[in-house]
Structure 1
């Protein structure tokens, strides 16, 4: 696979500048996209160097720390998009993210891939990143929509609308895969020379994992919320 030069890489930001301009013009917020882009660059460069160290080490304690860190950060980012920023609400989100992500991660690592060791960094870390990032995005949609709906309707209807809303991107991605888009993991494997039919198996695994992780996180969250509404 060819190396991307820094100049060529910078060209990928041209459309982003266009989006930033209209985002600022229409929302009067000039920092969101700018800060997010700068953080993305810094975080990815940092994690790139860090992964070099992580992949050379098979220390289970390091792996546990990284997974726990992902859970804590994903839960915090989810909380950021809500009105209720109390510790109790954060704990509910944390439980939902943890349960969903760990169930799927354990199933994939322990049974689907049948790795020789439960912790192999080059498999566990990327998969954990996918599952917790996806869980975070889905749960953010569910919580944000639920908070809006509960102001105008009852718990059952608000939950129904919020659950359906958070699953729309996940279901759409399953419907579109192979027809509209070749997903990132599959594309990366094909570009690196992996047999497309092998790449397809991995992508099916990922798609099933992302849909179930999104759904389970929302289910756990709403089960916890139901206690507050006596449902």
Structure 2
């Protein structure tokens, strides 16, 4: 794609801004900021990845994965207002997911241990884990507030905080996994996923592209499950104070 062709796609942003002005939504500034940030960030990461791929050193690859996990944890933890220590809990859950899924892919030799494979796949796994974490924290707070009296009664009857919050955590886990499961159900019918589409546009055989996409799909299902369950185990205790009383 030429720079001129890329510049022409700014028409989409202009059209969205025109619709915002027409409907008086007040989103024009946010759209400009989003477009500029996306451009700068993608160009910057493009040059960084070019350097990392060229050097091909495990330390640089690990640093990239660590940076992605920190940014993901910081973004997702903002959904857990009121829960102390949420950043580190989200980061541990995200890294546990990354290590489990990416570690399996490398150990089973599904993908080679090269930056060109590890970093993009890690980005998809960590990104999905970030979304699942944000959904989990948001739903956890809502469920805890809605079931505060229920948890109080259970505690008064002798239940432990883990037992009292089991229904709350279970509901949050299920809600955070639904988007991943639903998108998987309609894949190939409603949408052609990004990785598959990119490979096809680049000239890859569609069947080979499908195989790589299925790899990602299966990894994302696991990542959503691992992230939310680990985060649930690490977070449920923050719903109570030192006297085992609900605080959310």
Q: CA deviation at 1:20?
A: 5.2
Residues 216/113 of structure 1: CA separation in 2 closer, same or farther (3 Å cut): same
1:7: which partner in 2?
7
Q: CA deviation at 1:94?
A: 1.0
* TM-score (normalised: structure 1): 0.86
2:121: which partner in 1?
127
| SS of equivalent to 1:151 | helix
1:55 to 45, 53, 56: 53
Q: How does 1:73-152 map to 2 (within 5 A)?
A: 73-84=71-82, 86=84, 88-115=85-112, 118=113, 120-152=114-146
| Segment of structure 1 superposing worse, 148-157 or 40-49 | 148-157
Give the conservation status (yes or no) of the 8 Å contact 1:20–1:34.
no
How big is the alpha-carbon RMSD for the aligned residues of Structure 1 and Structure 2?
A: 2.4
2:161: which partner in 1?
none
Q: CA deviation at 1:64?
A: 1.2
Q: CA deviation at 1:149?
A: 1.3
Give the conservation status (yes or no) of the 8 Å contact 1:142–1:218.
yes
1:170 to 146, 161, 180: 180
Unaligned runs of 5+ residues in structure 2 are 152-164
Residues 58/33 of structure 1: CA separation in 2 closer, same or farther (3 Å cut): same
Give the conservation status (yes or no) of the 8 Å contact 1:54–1:121.
yes
1:63-115 deviation digits (Å, cap 9, x = unpaired)? 111111111111001112221364x2211111111101221112223325242
| SS of equivalent to 2:56 | coil
Give the conservation status (yes or no) of the 8 Å contact 2:169–2:236.
no
| Segment of structure 1 superposing worse, 219-228 or 120-129 | 219-228
Q: CA deviation at 1:35?
A: 3.5
Aligned length: 223
Unaligned runs of 5+ residues in structure 1 are none
Residues 33/134 of structure 1: CA separation in 2 closer, same or farther (3 Å cut): farther
Give the conservation status (yes or no) of the 8 Å contact 1:131–1:210.
yes
Whole-Å Cα distance in 2 between the matches of residues 185 and 128 of structure 1? 13
Give the conservation status (yes or no) of the 8 Å contact 1:23–1:29.
no
* TM-score (normalised: structure 2): 0.81
